[in-house]
Structure 1
């Protein structure tokens, strides 16, 4: 997965293991894992995965605490040519089971080690048509009927994202990255894959890395020598608001901060732009789960309009008229980044479709083109909302779960702006005769 060859994640790690074997690949506190040891651990795990039947167009579910073992598992899955699905450790067991039932993995990797999947499914390319290359990963997003939707993203799409991101950031082996996101949020792939592709150090937060706010967070960034930071936009905005009243210049090595998931605020952009004495580059990234991580970047200066950039190489944007009057348009993504589609019961979704003979993804975002080549976003035309810094949620999924409770007669879920970002509130009508704590009289 280097910018020259577009190789897989494992191939990039193996190359660094030869060229710079003692270079630190992963760190957490005093613990280090070199590129040589990372490659060796991936080799060992890959052999066990092969024995379990994992290979091209099969799925391996990774259900591990976030850390070195997660990256080893991703590299091992890459080694055997399979696709991985990353599960958030704190995800409810029932939802984990829904995902496992949907993707039907050949193997699962947990704290107990690798094991054969409970009901391995047919190859992914028999379930969804292969478009450019083998499957790289299956990412799950919210479903409107209470069932998570698994998106199959191909290797060429992930490779293209990594190459373009490395170029956009100017990322090199001299950089130091901080891993900061949910492992199941595809921003994690940007942090892990780009770092290991160029051979830099990826730092995981250790037990000393606790923070009560922006100043403490930047103290740890300074202590660790972090140079490039990717943050969910909710965190970017919250810390940016706190930094607005501070003296600044608290992370001198931090040359670039990327916000991904939803729109950053102008106030946060202005705050982050001055956390290093020479200035910090602030980047807005945009990309839905149905495409390979981020499909466009835009540099933002203090005072700039908050917009998204032109698509990266290999990706195209189209505006599709909405409604009968055609006064607004929905953003459609085409090109190598677009996933194959949804697995299982969600496979019939109209979000993926052929448009003028080209495989396309209808994002649900309303957009207008800017004269400078970027795009302004104006909300969504579907029932989805973004919460917690960019997680896209179907309100219908939450409603369906509430209505599944036998004493809930009706339910409505609405978003609202809370102190920490956008939150959701549920209003329910209960059956007074059956609901706990209610008086039928």
Structure 2
């Protein structure tokens, strides 16, 4: 096709020449995007939940540790809070922050915000104070729903706060009937802040129509029903938590909350068994750890009630799926889920075939095909469709696109473009993908500087910007490196005049500085100090020439274990972090330990 185009148009720039025949282009733009489906209703998701209250008021809606609420109790408490918010002056379109530790009250607060027409903003108590305050001030929230013990971390003089623990007696005096709020489908439902390359997070805006239709898609795609018991595992600050909560309640099933921060794999597995969970959703890193735990402990029949496992947030490794096929879970359905926050959580899914022959022919696990009423396009730099098998940038269209970024009009215009092949907008994901011959999409990596580690998506540029603001840092570059055990580590390369201070002391100083400004998952495992950055012959930074870090030599002030207890603990760390030498003064997280590895050495 290209040669024919050159002959027909010899004066045309080569990047303007078509690579596809008309039939090939029609297949890519239309046949692979035949996803249209009529939704059951245009009601908001909280209205669908209210319908479940009418149908099954005594059904268990949500469980947390030794507490639980029926649908009737959950709805009454959410209505009392919603009425209280209305009387406090909240109207549809007001931003409302929810800043709570894991509890049933989180679910009550979320539903109340949706019912009153507020725009839900989740705030994670584990985030640094500076990041929390930026999100609060950027969104200009009208009210913050919190608890007394977190007041010190959320205090802003002009901010109105409601403590849902100490103020509840007053809130409980309100009517418990469903409230009437004038909420249109294009009203905003929530805002989620994601990492931004400017050094500041950006707020992604999602409306009620996108949220409701997506919840209905998930109910249908995952065959949710009233008998399901579904795990709520993701952090509230990530949009996948909404996918775990709202479809569950929208279909009348039971939601199981856990405090993932302090949860061992042993205890999680026990919860899955004891509470009879039917659906769980983990990032691939945690799924791998869970599979290893199951294999070590030889669970054979105790997980029979589990029918679906979903894994998303980062690329699903082929080796993890191979472990899955050798585990007692192999006959359970497994879905690889993909979706940026800007496209309302999950946009594309790939149900793994139970035929193990499929894995033998795979080099990677596909991300699959778009959900109903979503469309996907794989385009080159000139926004032309690329042939099947050729890599390009993934664009997502159809339902579920965000309304843009809060207070960032130019960035919204850059990322949400007019659809050149139809109506509406397309979102530029920045992901490099290609179509496989069967129509599934294969993820190849990132085009820009955004990465995912252990399910957390962020911009390397944000880390670089914050690093560069340190008074001792002249320039900084951050990249992902793999250690000898293929674990992904975040590494910072810094141009810095150390003077008389040692690299380990300067690393500690910078790490403490970052802890006050960034979440733990964005803090590098290693800091390497250079006089200059390596350059290519044409003067650009040569990223391939950056030195490989030796993670085994990052220790300082090594003190060997002395007591039997210290020997046991350091031996466990050696197995988990994969280092030859661990001293009693070493920090687990500074040497690459993380939530997913934290408990894997216990069993």
TM-score by length of 1: 0.87
Match of 2:145 in 1: 109
The yes-or-no answer on 1:219 pairing with 2:270 is yes
Q: 1:422 to 1:278 in 2, by over 3 A?
A: closer
**Aligned partner of residue 54 in structure 2, secondary structure:** helix
Match of 1:354 in 2: 418
The yes-or-no answer on 1:186 pairing with 2:239 is yes
User: What is the Cα-based RMSD across aligned positions, in Å?
Assistant: 3.0
1:415-426 maps to which residues of 2 (within 5 A)? 415-417=480-482, 421-426=487-492
Point out the structure with the larger helix share.
Answer: 2
Contact 2:295-2:327 within 8 A present in 1 as well: no
Higher mean alpha-carbon deviation, 36-45 vs 293-302, is at 293-302
Q: 1:6 to 1:117 in 2, by over 3 A?
A: farther
Higher mean alpha-carbon deviation, 276-285 vs 28-37, is at 276-285
Match of 2:400 in 1: 337
TM-score by length of 2: 0.65
Q: 1:71 to 1:234 in 2, by over 3 A?
A: same
User: Equivalents in 2 of 1:33, 1:132: separation in Å?
Assistant: 28
Higher mean alpha-carbon deviation, 215-224 vs 200-209, is at 200-209
Match of 2:217 in 1: 164
1:23-422 maps to which residues of 2 (within 5 A)? 23-112=59-148, 118=158, 133-205=186-258, 210-211=263-264, 213=265, 217-243=268-294, 247-249=298-300, 250-272=302-324, 279-301=331-353, 302=356, 303-304=358-359, 305=362, 306-322=365-381, 328-345=391-408, 347-349=410-412, 350-356=414-420, 357-389=423-455, 391-417=456-482, 421-422=487-488
Contact 1:254-1:276 within 8 A present in 2 as well: no
Q: 1:208 to 1:340 in 2, by over 3 A?
A: closer
User: Equivalents in 2 of 1:378, 1:67: separation in Å?
Assistant: 38
Unpaired runs of 5+ in structure 1? 121-130
Question: How many residues are paired up?
Answer: 424
1:31 is displaced (CA, Å) by: 1.1
Q: 1:221 to 1:271 in 2, by over 3 A?
A: farther
Q: 1:30 to 1:432 in 2, by over 3 A?
A: closer
Match of 2:536 in 1: none
1:430 is displaced (CA, Å) by: 2.7
User: Equivalents in 1 of 2:299, 2:63: separation in Å?
Assistant: 27
Q: 1:53 to 1:118 in 2, by over 3 A?
A: farther
User: Equivalents in 2 of 1:68, 1:354: separation in Å?
Assistant: 42
User: Equivalents in 1 of 2:410, 2:103: separation in Å?
Assistant: 32
Task: Specify the structure having the higher radius of gyration (Cα).
Answer: 2
1:219 is displaced (CA, Å) by: 3.2
User: Equivalents in 1 of 2:378, 2:260: separation in Å?
Assistant: 47
1:284 is displaced (CA, Å) by: 0.6
1:341 is displaced (CA, Å) by: 0.8
User: Equivalents in 2 of 1:51, 1:18: separation in Å?
Assistant: 25
Q: 1:132 to 1:224 in 2, by over 3 A?
A: closer
1:209 is displaced (CA, Å) by: 8.0
Deviation per residue, 1:214-262 (Å, 9 max, x gap): x653333111101111112221233235545664534111110000112
Q: 1:199 to 1:132 in 2, by over 3 A?
A: closer
Match of 1:128 in 2: none
